[in-house]
Structure 1
Amino acid sequence: MQDLTVTGLEKKSNQELATKLNELLANYHIYYQNVRGFHWNIKGSNFFQLHAKFEELYTNALTRIDEIAERILTLGYTPLHSFSEFIGNSSIKETHNLTSDRETVGTTIENITLLIKLEREILKLADESGDEGTEDLLSTDLNENEKTLWMLNAFLNG
């Protein structure tokens, strides 16, 4: 019993999952800030459509951030909670002064692609450790991110 957590998972795999979830949390924070900035600063003929879409994306990201942080706590660890930690642990980079439809949507596609890659890595770890809670949390998000990716690609290539 000493090698199990209160959720019944092995401590070693639990720690690996928490570390990867913190990485996902950091990436989601930078992604959130990027799309929030796109919402504020988008210009051009697609302003109304993208202004609304970016608001939808950052609102969803904010919900995901909370869910990921709470999952980390459920696993018995502390979620990252400072901007310096988010920047230092994120593969997604901050954007600056992007205002056109093509560059904001293109960057959002790149960001979501990184989120999907990380989610798949975590899903594999969760499956190997028998962590159905993390699997459930991420499989729903993965499906939403894949659909959003398809839609954004359709926008750019339409």
Structure 2
Amino acid sequence: MSKRSNQDVATALGVLLADSYILALKTQNYHWNVVGSDFVQLHQLFGDQYEALSGAVDEVAERIRALGFPAPASFGEFTDRASVKSTAGHPPARDMITALRDDHLTVAKSAYAVIKAAESASDDSSADLATGRVTEHEKAAWMLTALLG
């Protein structure tokens, strides 16, 4: 791979990292602050999703480093790169579910962009990582959609 193709993959991974980090933070917020008759179920689901996202963030950052680039690691860098938007406050549980579903689909799109860049660079490892992320985010979106009925 050329330095330029590595840079393209690292840039796409940086967006995936930022989206994943902001989604993890939002999911943790909802885990802590969900209320209502479905509290136990949602608290557990959001907790499981937060833990999975935390692991994914580390995996994506380490892949950026393996390509020879610094991983973005500040709120400012994440905010500048991310498609997922951070939100303040504590919406009703149904709005939390909808927001997280939509955000998982957004992160899946970021992972698809990594796949495209990685395939152009013949970077099977980054493509594989991103394919796994697509699978996880689409599954999470499906589960959240099912909760909405």
- The TM-score with structure 1 as length reference comes to 0.91
Where has structure 1 moved over 3 Å in runs of 4 or more? Answer: none
- 2:33 corresponding residue in structure 1: 41
- 1:112 corresponding residue in structure 2: 104
2:84 to 89, 92, 116: 92
Bigger Rg, structure 1 or 2: 1
Percent of pairs with identical residues: 35
Do the aligned residues in 2 keep the contact of 1:43 with 1:99 (CA within 8 Å)?
A: no
Is 1:124 aligned to residue 105 of structure 2?
Answer: no
1:55 to 47, 50, 61: 47
Gaps in structure 1 of 5+ consecutive residues: 1-8
Residue 129 of structure 1 and its aligned partner are, at CA, apart by 1.3
How many residue pairs end up in the alignment? 149
Residue 98 of structure 1 and its aligned partner are, at CA, apart by 2.4
Tell me whether 69-78 or 131-140 shows the greater mean CA deviation.
Answer: 131-140
Gaps in structure 2 of 5+ consecutive residues: none
- 1:26 corresponding residue in structure 2: 18
Tell me whether 31-40 or 118-127 shows the greater mean CA deviation.
Answer: 118-127
Letter of the 2:105 counterpart = T
CA RMSD of aligned residues (A): 1.0
- The TM-score with structure 2 as length reference comes to 0.96
